[in-house]
């Protein structure tokens, strides 16, 4: 078992992310297999996970998004993506996505640490409004509420869970200052 204290939270550039696609994919596969509603359905494979993360590489390389990971020194154990809004009228905004921690390491504070790293990076980049959505009642929902995020709406039947059941989605925002 990995101790949360021994996990380093850091960014991956596109080159390292590409070199570690298998680890990134494994985190995503684990999340889907354990019921996380993160855009994919049951049976999601390692190859599909690699393809997803490979698709993120151009945005990381271009600075349109940042990938933060939890790294225990032997493997990657968590992720969060900070995506900067590209619209000319939204240079103050960013979104949080793929907030994932290996199921075997949840409830040790890693998600909170990943989220804090993304929030700090958003501030450093001059972004003061963050947005995200998550399945209502999920572990993510509880994490965001504890971290001071504000719910601004819910959409019933917004997305399928990996098992094929429709689930409600809650939208959150967080102001980081003006």
CATH of the domain at 47: 3.40.630.30
Residue with tokens 């204290």: 5
Whether 91 has a pLDDT exceeding 60, the answer reads yes
In a domain, 153, yes or no: no
User: Within 13 A of 18's CA, how many CA atoms are on the CB side?
Assistant: 9
Summarize pLDDT for 64-82 with one digit per residue, the tens.
999 999 999 999 999 999 9
Residue 51 lies in a domain: yes
pLDDT at 5 over 90: no
Angle at 147 between CA 141 and CA 150, to 5 degrees: 65
CA dihedral sign, ordered 87, 61, 55, 95: negative
Pick the closest to residue 135 from 37, 61, 47 (CA basis). Answer: 37
Confidence of residue 178 (pLDDT cuts 50, 70, 90): low
What pLDDT score does 177 carry?
79
Convert the pLDDT of each residue in 9-59 to its tens digit.
999 999 999 999 999 999 999 999 999 989 999 999 999 999 999 999 999
In this prediction, residue 157 carries a pLDDT of 95
Which residue is associated with the tokens 């494979």? 45
Q: Kindly state the average pLDDT of the residues 114-123.
A: 98
For the chain, the domain total comes to 1
Going from the C-alpha of 114 to that of each of 33, 120, 178, the distances in angstroms are: 21, 10, 23
Domain of residue 35, residue span:
4-128
């Amino acid at each position: 078992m990995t101790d949360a204290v021994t996990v380093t939270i850091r960014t991956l550039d596109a080159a390292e992310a590409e070199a570690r696609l298998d680890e990134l994919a494994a985190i995503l596969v684990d999340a889907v297999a354990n019921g996380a509603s993160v855009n994919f359905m049951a049976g999601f494979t390692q190859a599909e996970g690699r393809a997803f993360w490979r698709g993120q590489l151009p945005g990381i390389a271009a600075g349109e998004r940042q990938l933060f990971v939890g790294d225990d020194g032997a493997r990657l154990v968590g992720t969060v993506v900070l995506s900067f809004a590209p619209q000319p009228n939204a240079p103050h905004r960013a979104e949080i996505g793929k907030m994932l921690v290996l199921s075997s390491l949840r409830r040790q504070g890693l998600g909170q640490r990943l989220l804090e790293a993304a929030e700090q990076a958003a501030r450093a980049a001059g972004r003061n409004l963050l947005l995200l959505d998550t399945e209502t009642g999920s572990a993510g929902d509880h994490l965001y509420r504890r971290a001071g995020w504000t719910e601004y709406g819910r959409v019933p039947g917004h997305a399928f869970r990996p098992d094929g059941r429709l689930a409600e989605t809650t939208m959150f925002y967080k102001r980081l200052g003006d």
